[in-house]
A and B are shown apart, each in its own frame.
Chain A
Amino acid sequence: MNDKKNTQALTPNHTAAAAGCATCPAHNASNLLKLGVDMTDWDYVIALAGNPNTGKSTVFNALTGLRQHTGNWPGKTVTRAEGGYSYGDKRYKIVDLPGTYSLLSTSLDEEVARDFILFGQPDVTIIVVDATRLERNLNLALQVLEITDRAVVCLNLIDEARRHGITVDDRRLARDLGVPVVPTAARQGEGLDALLQAVSEVATGQTVCKPHRVKTESAAIQTAVETLVAQIQAAFPGVPNARWVALRLLDGDDRLADAIRSGELGDLRRQEPEAMQDLVIHLEPA
Chain B
Amino acid sequence: MTTDNLTSTDILKTAESLRWQIGRDFHDRLMEDIYTDAARLADRAVTRPDEKPRFDLDRTIDRIVTSRTWGFPMMILLFTIVFWITIVGANYPSQFLSSILIDKAVPFLHGIADAINLPWWISGLLIDGMYLATAWVVSVMLPPMAIFFPLFTLLEDFGYLPRVAFNLDNIFHKSGAHGKQALSMMMGFGCNAAGVVATRVIDSPRERLIAIITNNFALCNGRWPTQILIATVFIGGLVPAYLAGIISALAVVGIAMLGVVLSFVVSWSLSRTVLRGEVSTFSLELPPYRPPQVWRTVYTSLIDRTIYVLWRAIVFALPAGAAIWLIANITIGGTSVAEYLINFLNPLGILIGLNGVILLAYVVAIPANEIVIPTVLMLTVLMTGVNAGAGAGVMFNAQSNSDYMTLFTAGGWTLLTAVNLMLFSLIHNPCSTTIYTIYKETGDKKWTAVAALLPLAMGFIVTFFVAQIWRLFAG
- Chain A interface (Cβ < 8 Å from any Cβ of B): 52-53, 67, 69, 71-75, 78-79, 101-102, 104-109, 132, 134-136, 138-139, 141-143, 160, 165-170, 172-173, 176-177, 187, 212, 214-218, 220-221, 224, 227-228, 231-232, 234-235, 246-247, 249-252, 257, 260-261, 263, 266
Contact = CB atoms under 8 A, between A and B. Distances in A.
Interface in B1-42: 4-5, 7-12, 14-15, 18-19, 21-23, 26-27, 29-31, 33-35, 37-39, 41-42
Contact of A221 (B26, B34, B45, B290): B26
B287 A78 contact: no
A188 to B, nearest CB: 10
B203 A72 contact: no
Contacts of A106: 203
Given A104-B31, A165-B51, A228-B11, A172 B201 contact: no
A234 B7 contact: yes
B303 interface: yes
- Closest 4 A/B residue pairs (Cβ): A165-B49, A135-B42, A107-B203, A138-B38
B180 interface: yes
Interface of B: 4-5, 7-12, 14-15, 18-19, 21-23, 26-27, 29-31, 33-35, 37-39, 41-49, 51, 153, 156-159, 161-162, 165, 180, 183, 186, 197-198, 200-203, 283-285, 287-290, 292-293, 299-301, 303-305
A268 to B, nearest CB: 14
Contacts of B202: 107
Contacts of B48: 165-166
Nearest to B41: A176
24 contacts: A71-B156, A73-B287, A74-B287, A75-B183, A75-B201, A78-B201, A106-B203, A135-B38, A139-B38, A141-B38, A142-B41, A166-B49, A168-B45, A169-B46, A169-B47, A173-B44, A215-B33, A215-B37, A218-B29, A224-B21, A224-B22, A228-B14, A257-B15, A261-B9
Contacts of B41: 138, 142, 173, 176-177, 212
B46 A212 contact: no
Contacts of A71: 153, 156-157, 161
B161 A231 contact: no
A250 B22 contact: yes
A270 B44 CA distance: 32
A217 B8 CA distance: 28
B46 A134 contact: yes
Contacts of A69: 153, 300-301, 304-305
Contacts of B292: 72
A141 B304 CA distance: 32
A216 B165 contact: no
Contacts of A53: 285, 287
Given A52-B285, A234-B7, A247 B38 contact: no
B287 A67 contact: no
Contacts of A221: 22, 26, 29-30
A101 B29 CA distance: 17
B161 A73 contact: yes
B19 A250 contact: yes
B109 to A, nearest CB: 35
Contacts of B42: 134-135, 138
Contacts of B183: 73-75
B33 A74 contact: no
